[in-house]
């Protein structure tokens, strides 16, 4: 039996909890900061934390009574530095008073682990959708790897920026959800790049739409349809890449009923399982800190007082996952005659027919637009890359009505089945050639590269487009790096080989921009 007292305070919610592993029961006491106007003000949030943390901790200690507490767990990050330091100070003092070990917990990993714990799933992909964060995590070789993420801001913060434009108070998400119930669909931007996504364009367009007189209800409805459609699409792509059949949801935005509905429909269509914890474990809470703290304590993963500094930029992939055994690589199935990818149903015979099937979770108008645009783009860019000397399949037919393509059959296996240095070097050179011609692939993952004894083929240009922007070329490299982290045992070595080959024929500025993308520190 393990009993852990957890303390959470990364941004806006002061929370304490007691978890008892013998009964699997968690008591939570929380006090949320509510700004008078606008979003979260860091100074005011810290003042709230300073006043509220002792109160919630004392309430939980009173509930615990004289029963033994084995450890104190606290959120080390990511979050607002002043808030994190207040929580860490309280945790150190309490651990010293009780003479028990201290456990430092990554807030985002806790969101994932509470979903895994409550669902009983063995090895799920996790979509974290919270205020300051939005990313996809998958477990590989002792760590949770980021296999998809926001390129600008967290999903909750993005929605809050829109609602602040309207003069609505924080948090904006529930208000958007309420107004969306009366809305109709209007066209807004929809941006996914592999398993990455961006919210800046849709937020600017939504603000402009309201200023131009589009009814607020319609804009709120369309914001949800597009933003949550993007998150659901990249989640499906992550399931496809990793061959996982389990998805868990974490983060406060996960309380939105429409997002959960979309994820449920997507998983049901794939034959996958989906789980979202109850709301008290989705919003920021100390319960998830205490539960993960107990797992870490049982694994001997505690820290000394002088090693307990907080980290406002604490990434989930920096955390050694000591409480799980090292995962064996999934055995990939042999190529069947029919494959369900993230977007399409692929029938494989002498030729390959790829049909982008309708997605029930997406609004029909949005779904039809995406299916047709991506089918046309794939046909055009596949042929363009081939003209530039990149091995791609010949396009035999484009069926615009069914959003379907017929291709030459190429390769004997996906790259993910032969992830070796020579093959990723081929891919590096192929992408450099595409970029030199102004073509972005959009989704260069090991599932979208085919290999045989002689050649390495680039397929599936459905998310591709023409551009002269170095940032867009670097995003191609970033998408591949993330997919390697989620599928390869020696991802760092393969990534180095891939970049070296890209440099041989490509623009060095693209690799430099990749470094900039990697260093933006989005988990704040």
**Residue 501, domain member (yes or no):** yes
User: What is the percentage of the chain residues whose pLDDT exceeds 70?
Assistant: 96
Farthest CA pair distance, the chain: 75
146-173: average pLDDT: 92
Mean pLDDT, to the nearest integer, of 88-95? Answer: 97
Q: Both tokens of residue 32?
A: 């949320």
Q: Is residue 319 part of a domain?
A: no
Q: In terms of residue numbers, what domain contains 144?
A: 119-278
Assign 3-class secondary structure to 427-464: HHHHHHHHHHCCEECCCCCHHHEEECCCCEEECCCCCC
> Mean pLDDT, to the nearest integer, of 59-83?
92
* pLDDT above 70 for 327: no
At residue 144, the 3 state secondary structure works out as strand
Query: How far, in Å, CA of 325 to CA of 279, rounded?
Result: 29
| Distance set, CA 285 to CA 101, 164, 386, 479 (Å) | 21, 25, 52, 32
Residues 267 and 343 both lie in one domain: no
Q: What is the CATH number of the domain that holds 144?
A: 3.30.420.40
Same domain, 410 and 509: yes
Total number of domains constituting the chain: 3
- Mean pLDDT across the stretch 286-309? 96
Confidence of residue 387 (pLDDT cuts 50, 70, 90): very high
For position 443, what pLDDT does the model report? Answer: 96
- State whether 128 and 203 are in the same domain: yes
Q: Give yes or no for residue 338 having a pLDDT over 90.
A: no
Domain boundary among 278, 298, 324: 278
Residues 79 and 27 in one domain: yes
pLDDT at 62: 93
Residue 212 shares a structural domain with residue 85: no
pLDDT of residue 45: 83
- Report pLDDT for 32: 87
Q: CA-to-CA distance for 436 and 434, rounded, in angstroms?
A: 5
pLDDT at residue 66, as a whole number: 74
Residue 337: what pLDDT?
Answer: 66
Are residues 223 and 98 located together in one domain of the fold? no
Is the same domain home to 71 and 212? Answer: no
- Cβ 406 vs Cβ 352: under 8 Å: yes
Does 325 reside within a domain? no
- Asked whether residue 258 carries a pLDDT value surpassing 70, the answer given is yes
pLDDT at 329: 46
pLDDT at residue number 38: 60
Give CA–CA dist 105/8, Å, rounded.
Answer: 9
- Are 205 and 290 part of one and the same domain? no
Mean pLDDT, rounded, of the chain: 93
Quick check: helix, strand or coil at residue 397? strand
pTM: 0.93
pLDDT at 51: 94
Is 443 an annotated catalytic residue? yes
pLDDT at residue number 41? 74
| 7-29 per-position pLDDT tens digit | 999 988 999 999 999 999 999 99
Residue with tokens 């474990």: 281
Residues 446 and 505 in one domain: yes
Residue 323 falls inside a structural domain: no
Most confident of 57-66, 228-237, 304-313, 322-331: 228-237
Label residue 485 by pLDDT band (50, 70, 90): very high
Flag whether pLDDT at 464 surpasses 80. yes
pLDDT at 334 over 90: no
The verdict on residue 454 lying in a domain is: yes
* pLDDT exceeds cutoff 60 at 332: no
Find the range with the poorest average confidence among 240-249, 338-347, 425-434: 338-347
Same domain, 431 and 482: yes
**What pLDDT is recorded for position 523?**
43
Residue 220 lies in a domain: yes
Q: What is the mean pLDDT of residues 466-473?
A: 97
Is the confidence at residue 451, as pLDDT, over 50? yes
Of the candidates 160, 218, 284, 443, the residue annotated as catalytic is: 443
pLDDT of residue 127: 97
Find the CATH number of the domain harbouring 514: 1.10.510.10
Does residue 332 fall inside a structural domain? no
Work out the angle between the directed axes of helices 421-436 and 491-505 (0-180°, nearest 10): 40
Residues 339-342: contacts with CB within 8 Å, 24+ apart? 340/240, 340/270, 341/240, 341/447, 341/460, 342/233, 342/236, 342/237, 342/239, 342/240, 342/241
Question: What is the model's pLDDT at position 331?
Answer: 46
pLDDT > 50? residue 129: yes
Are both 395 and 359 inside the same structural domain? yes
Residues 469 and 346 in one domain: yes
Is residue 330 assigned to a domain? no
Confidence of residue 477 (pLDDT cuts 50, 70, 90): very high
Please name which of 459, 471, 388 lies closest in space to residue 191, comparing C-alpha atoms: 471
């Amino acid at each position: 039996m393990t009993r852990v007292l957890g303390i959470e305070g990364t941004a806006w919610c002061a929370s304490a909890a007691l978890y008892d592993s013998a009964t699997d029961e968690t008591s939570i006491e929380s006090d949320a900061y509510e700004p008078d106007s606008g979003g979260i003000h860091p100074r005011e949030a810290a003042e709230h934390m300073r006043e509220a943390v002792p109160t919630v901790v004392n309430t939980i200690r009173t509930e615990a009574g004289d029963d033994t507490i084995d450890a104190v767990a606290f959120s080390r990050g990511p979050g607002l530095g002043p808030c994190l330091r207040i929580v860490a100070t309280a945790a150190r003092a309490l651990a010293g008073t009780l003479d028990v070990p201290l456990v430092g917990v990554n807030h985002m990993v806790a969101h994932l682990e509470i979903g895994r714990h409550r669902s009983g799933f063995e090895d799920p992909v996790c979509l974290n959708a919270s205020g300051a964060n939005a990313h996809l995590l998958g477990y590989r070789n002792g760590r949770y790897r980021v296999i998809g993420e926001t390129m600008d801001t967290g999903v909750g913060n993005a929605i809050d920026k829109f609602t602040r434009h309207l003069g609505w108070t924080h948090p904006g998400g529930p208000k958007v959800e309420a107004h969306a119930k009366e809305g109709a669909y209007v066209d807004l931007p929809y941006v996914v790049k592999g398993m990455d996504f961006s919210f800046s364009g849709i937020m600017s367009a939504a603000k402009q739409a309201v200023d131009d007189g589009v009814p607020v209800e319609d804009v709120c409805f369309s914001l949800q349809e597009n933003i949550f459609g993007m998150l659901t699409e990249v989640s499906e792509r992550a399931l496809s890449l990793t061959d996982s059949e389990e998805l868990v949801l974490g983060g406060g935005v996960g309380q939105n009923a429409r997002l959960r509905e979309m994820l449920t429909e997507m998983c049901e269509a794939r034959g996958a399982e989906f789980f979202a914890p109850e709301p008290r474990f989705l919003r920021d809470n100390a319960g998830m800190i205490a539960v993960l703290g107990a797992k870490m304590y049982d694994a001997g993963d505690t820290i000394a007082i002088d090693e307990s500094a907080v980290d406002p930029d604490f990434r989930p992939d920096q955390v050694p996952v000591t409480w799980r055994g090292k995962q064996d690589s999934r055995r990939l199935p042999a190529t069947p005659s029919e494959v369900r990818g993230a977007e399409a149903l692929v029938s494989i015979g002498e030729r390959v027919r790829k049909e982008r099937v309708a997605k029930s979770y997406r609004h029909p108008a949005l779904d039809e637009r995406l299916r047709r645009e991506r089918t046309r783009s794939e046909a055009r860019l596949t042929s363009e890359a081939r003209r530039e000397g990149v091995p791609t399949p010949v396009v035999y037919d484009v069926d615009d009505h069914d959003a379907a393509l017929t291709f030459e059959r190429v390769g004997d296996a996906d790259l993910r089945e032969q992830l070796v240095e020579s093959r990723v070097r081929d891919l590096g050179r192929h992408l450099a050639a595409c970029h030199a011609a102004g073509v972005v692939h959009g989704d260069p993952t090991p599932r979208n590269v085919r290999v045989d004894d002689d050649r390495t083929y680039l397929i599936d240009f459905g998310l591709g487009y023409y551009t002269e922007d170095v940032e867009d070329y670097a995003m191609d490299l970033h998408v591949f790096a993330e997919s390697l982290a989620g599928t390869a045992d020696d991802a760092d070595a393969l990534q180095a080989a891939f970049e070296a080959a890209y440099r041989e024929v490509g623009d060095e500025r693209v690799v430099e921009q990749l470094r900039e993308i990697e260093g933006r520190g989005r988990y704040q």
